[in-house]
């Protein structure tokens, strides 16, 4: 087994595309001798030249000194044949994402390298076990999944196959640290950690769109307001539906149609129509010179004299909302609303219809505000029969008070509640399946997906009991096993402990 800290470490990288170049770059910068090979004639030389130009740019910007630049260049070599990798202690493949191609490459490599050379695959979606099982020595194969662009995305998933030697994962973990990346150790399961954990944002966002609750721009605005760097539709447009939809289908199929990962016909239809996103100029948004033409938010209605009655069952939530109202808004301070008042309620896991009926309120005058995400963007939800005048009165009172407001149709769990609950629940189930440790799950998601917090820390911020209440509300409303809570979440909510609490 190779020593990841050895100053004489020599590795091979097969595949001179974007991923292979990135891996070769950070390895050379770490003082590791790299042989870069590609089956296309001239590709390895082109890659070495491009990486050298990158080192020159980093030198010009002061991010590498002259000695570091020269040392990195000296460690980088273009291999002319697979046989040039014979002396490597580790070979990392970054070729096309096809099982047959990766198996064939590793079989060829076994005829070149020594028996103690480790073979690592950068696969993002294929089974590492399936790749390893085709090898003469399957125990030496491990997963080493980087994210693009490799030098900037400081996380790498280290995958232990079902037939692998644990020392392979140990060595790859040490190498990841040497390369300046955070290693996340995971078992060989569909989607590993990052692609697995990312299902909640995308598939639940599509579910919201499919139910006609809100349009893509409002869903994205709401979720950015909840702390996400990008909403699901912006993200799918950036990735491209030709990439994201097959991943959704693959993970769903590999988990034998697990409802939590159910894809949407919306993306299948749009993919068939060539609406890939930014790369095709049109996706959920249209693009001009690579920039999204985002539809503007709906204009604010004028302020009215309609009184507002705000549910006082939770005084803290009521006070928080009152602080967001425009000056001069008339408040109905009665224990029950007057006959001309607009009514505001705060359901958690429920919808505006249910909240109005449970409280004995007139659904024609009732609206709901998401109480869990009130610090930034506000979500205002109508019942199917809310009169436009009452809707506009509450919307104007909040919007003219300075708050950004999105108005949506009735939805159990609003938008942010249900999306965040799904993100948390899937993260909990990754922990429950022992795919990775709680700490590694959260590190992988924050570094790999750019979420404001990892799914378990995000659940802790809302409170495990609150997340459980949202999921229970969704499950009761939809009667869909998609929303059944993970045992990891249920037990920690009942015990009152952090979702990051590992098994003792």
Residue among 195, 341, 425, 486 flagged as catalytic: 195
Whether residue 358 has pLDDT greater than 90:
yes
Supply 153's token pair. Answer: 């995305």
What's the CA gap between 102 and 56, in Å, rounded?
33
Q: How confident is the model at residue 290 (pLDDT cuts 50, 70, 90)?
A: confident
Quick one: pLDDT at residue 13? 98
Contact 28, 69 (CB under 8 A): no
Q: How confident is the model at residue 102 (pLDDT cuts 50, 70, 90)?
A: very high
Whether residue 376 has pLDDT greater than 90:
no
Mean per-residue pLDDT, 302-330? 94
Supply 377's token pair. Answer: 């963007």
Task: Centre a 10 Å sphere on the Cβ of residue 363 and count the other Cβ atoms it contains.
Answer: 20
Whether residue 36 has pLDDT greater than 90:
yes
Residue among 93, 110, 122, 124 flagged as catalytic: 124
Supply 159's token pair. Answer: 């995958």
Residue keyed to tokens 């009215």: 304
What's the CA gap between 318 and 370, in Å, rounded?
12
Residue among 110, 157, 204, 234 flagged as catalytic: 157
Quick one: pLDDT at residue 477? 97
What 3-state class would DSSP assign to 473? helix
Whether residue 390 has pLDDT greater than 90:
yes
Contact 150, 26 (CB under 8 A): yes
195 classed as catalytic: yes
Mean per-residue pLDDT, 109-120? 97
Quick one: pLDDT at residue 197? 93
Tell me the pairing of strands 90-93 and 76-78: unpaired
Whether residue 1 has pLDDT greater than 90:
no
Q: How confident is the model at residue 369 (pLDDT cuts 50, 70, 90)?
A: very high
- pTM score > 0.85 for this model? yes
157 classed as catalytic: yes
Residue among 75, 77, 145, 245 flagged as catalytic: 145
Partners of 342 in beta bridges: 308
User: Who's near 253: CB < 8 A, 6+ residues apart?
Assistant: none
Q: Is 191 left (phi over 0), alpha (psi -120 to 50) or beta?
A: left
Partners of 78 in beta bridges: 36
Whether residue 375 has pLDDT greater than 90:
no
What's the CA gap between 132 and 110, in Å, rounded?
11
Q: Tell me phi and psi for residue 154, to 5 degrees.
A: -85, 45
Q: How confident is the model at residue 297 (pLDDT cuts 50, 70, 90)?
A: confident
């Amino acid at each position: 087994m190779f020593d990841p800290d050895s100053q004489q470490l020599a590795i091979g990288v097969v595949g001179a595309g974007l991923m292979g170049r990135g891996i070769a770059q950070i390895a050379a910068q770490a003082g590791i001798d790299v042989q870069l090979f590609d089956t296309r004639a001239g590709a390895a030389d082109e890659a070495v030249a491009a990486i050298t130009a990158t080192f020159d740019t980093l030198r010009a910007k002061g991010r590498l000194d002259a000695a570091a630049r020269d040392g990195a260049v000296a460690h980088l070599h273009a291999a002319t044949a697979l046989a040039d990798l014979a002396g490597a202690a580790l070979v990392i493949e970054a070729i096309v994402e096809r099982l047959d191609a990766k198996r064939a490459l590793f079989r060829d490599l076994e005829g070149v390298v020594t028996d103690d050379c480790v073979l690592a695959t950068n696969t993002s979606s294929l089974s590492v076990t399936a790749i390893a099982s085709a090898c003469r020595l399957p125990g030496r194969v491990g997963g080493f999944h980087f994210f693009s662009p490799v030098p900037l995305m400081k996380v790498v998933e280290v995958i232990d196959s079902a037939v692998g030697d644990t020392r392979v994962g140990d060595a790859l973990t040490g190498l990841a640290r040497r390369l300046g990346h955070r290693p996340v150790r995971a078992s060989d399961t569909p989607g590993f950690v990052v692609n697995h954990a990312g299902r909640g944002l995308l598939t639940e966002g599509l579910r919201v769109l499919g139910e006609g609750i809100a349009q893509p721009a409002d869903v994205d605005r709401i979720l950015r307001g909840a702390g996400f760097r990008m909403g699901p539709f912006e993200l799918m447009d950036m990735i491209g539906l030709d990439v994201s939809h097959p991943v959704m289908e693959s993970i769903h199929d590999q988990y034998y149609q697990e409802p939590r990962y159910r894809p949407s016909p919306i993306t299948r239809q749009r993919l068939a129509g060539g609406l890939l996103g930014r790369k095709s100029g049109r996706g959920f948004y249209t693009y001009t010179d690579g920039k999204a033409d985002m539809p503007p938010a709906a204009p604010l209605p004028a302020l009215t004299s309609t009184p507002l009655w705000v549910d006082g069952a939770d005084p803290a939530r009521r006070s928080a909302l009152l602080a967001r109202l425009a000056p001069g808004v008339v408040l109905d301070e009665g224990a029950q609303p007057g006959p001309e008042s607009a009514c505001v309620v705060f359901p958690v896991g429920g919808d505006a219809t249910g909240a109005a009926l449970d409280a004995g309120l007139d659904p024609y005058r009732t609206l709901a505000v998401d109480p869990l995400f009130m610090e930034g963007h506000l979500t205002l939800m109508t019942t199917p029969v809310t009169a436009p005048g009452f809707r506009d009165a509450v919307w104007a009172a909040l919007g003219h008070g300075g708050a950004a407001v999105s108005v949506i149709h009735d939805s159990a769990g609003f938008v942010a509640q249900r999306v965040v609950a799904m993100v948390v629940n899937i993260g909990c189930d990754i922990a429950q399946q022992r795919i990775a440790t709680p700490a590694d799950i959260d590190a992988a998601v924050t570094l790999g997906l750019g979420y404001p917090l990892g799914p378990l820390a995000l659940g802790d911020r809302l409170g495990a009991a609150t997340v459980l209440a949202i999921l229970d509300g969704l499950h009761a409303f939809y009667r869909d096993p998609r929303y059944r809570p993970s045992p990891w979440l249920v037990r920690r909510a009942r015990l009152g402990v952090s979702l990051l609490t590992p098994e003792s």
